[in-house]
């Protein structure tokens, strides 16, 4: 199996405008073949979805979910480009799936770059001290810290979380598929999760 290099990922990204993680995944799936990777991305509607990400989303819905025991609730603002798409059953089903994810996992933010830097600094300090206490060599401590932060962000930012309803797929994957199907940009604007007594 061919090693996927940063230069290969950059070339694919330059040619498709797709995110680095999706480019890397496509190159791994196609054994480093750039043209096959472009085809792979197009067949999954990813290039199409990425291109729509810059378009304005002024329509959408506020979706609310209350767990059956009445002790947990979620409010979600899910935006799209047109009222037509916002009124479809598929769009409501997407909002419900996202709200259920939030209820189950209690993410800190929509995306990793929205997580409070003070929280990440604290996690870095914990990871660094843990690595030092375990006797790790100084030259690999920082690599361990960055790996730990990457894992923390993937677990606590909504877009990067693995779906509770489908292992191996993230919330971003689900949103990308919905964008490709509807032909519109769809964005998670914000959310709030309420738990009785701050549970």
What pLDDT is recorded for position 142? Answer: 85
- Domains of the chain: which residue ranges? 6-43, 59-110+157-198, 116-156
The pLDDT value recorded for residue 96 is 95
- CATH superfamily, region 6-43: Ubiquitin-associated (UBA) domain (1.10.8.10)
Q: Where are the alpha helices (DSSP H) in the chain?
A: 6-16, 20-29, 34-43, 46-52, 83-86, 89-105, 117-133, 138-156, 171-182
Classify domain 59-110+157-198 at the CATH superfamily level: Elongation factor Ts, dimerisation domain (3.30.479.20)
pLDDT score at 9: 85
- Tell me which fold the domain 116-156 belongs to: GTP Cyclohydrolase I; Chain A, domain 1 (1.10.286)
d(CA 21, CA 151): 14
pLDDT for res 55: 61
* Nearest-10 crossing angle of helices 171-182, 89-105: 170
Q: Residue 87: its pLDDT value, please?
A: 92
Q: What is the CA radius of gyration of the chain?
A: 19
Closest CA to 159 of 130, 127, 187: 187
187 beta partners: 79
Query: So what's the pLDDT on residue 78?
Result: 95
Sequential DSSP letters for 141-152:
HHHHHHHHHHHH
What is the predicted pLDDT for the residue at 161? Answer: 92
pLDDT number for residue 199: 59
Phi then psi for residue 22, to 5 deg, are -65, -40
Rounded (10°) angle between helices 20-29 and 6-16? 110
Q: What is the pLDDT along the chain (199 residues), one digit of tens a residue?
A: 678 888 888 888 777 767 777 888 889 889 888 888 888 887 776 655 555 555 666 789 999 999 888 899 999 999 998 889 899 999 999 999 999 999 999 999 998 888 888 999 999 999 988 988 888 888 888 888 888 998 998 899 999 999 998 888 899 999 988 888 888 889 999 999 999 887 5
């Amino acid at each position: 199996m061919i090693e996927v290099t940063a230069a290969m990922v950059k070339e694919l990204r330059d040619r498709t405008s797709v995110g680095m993680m999706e480019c890397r995944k496509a190159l791994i799936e196609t054994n480093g073949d750039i043209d096959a990777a472009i085809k792979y991305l197009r067949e999954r509607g990813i290039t199409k979805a990425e291109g729509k990400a810059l378009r304005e989303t002024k329509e959408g819905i506020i979706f609310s979910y209350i767990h059956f025991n009445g002790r947990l609730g979620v409010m979600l603002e899910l935006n799209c480009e047109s009222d037509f798409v916002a009124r479809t059953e598929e769009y409501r089903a997407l909002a419900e799936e996202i709200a259920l994810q939030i209820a189950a996992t209690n993410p800190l933010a929509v995306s990793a770059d929205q997580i409070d830097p003070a929280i990440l600094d604290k996690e870095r300090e914990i990871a660094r001290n843990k690595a030092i206490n375990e006797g790790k060599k100084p030259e690999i401590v920082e690599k361990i810290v960055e790996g730990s932060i990457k894992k923390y962000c993937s677990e606590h930012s909504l877009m990067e979380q693995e779906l509770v309803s489908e292992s191996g797929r993230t919330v971003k994957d689900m949103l990308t598929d919905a964008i490709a199907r509807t032909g519109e940009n769809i964005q998670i604007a914000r959310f709030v999760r309420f738990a009785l007594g701050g549970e």
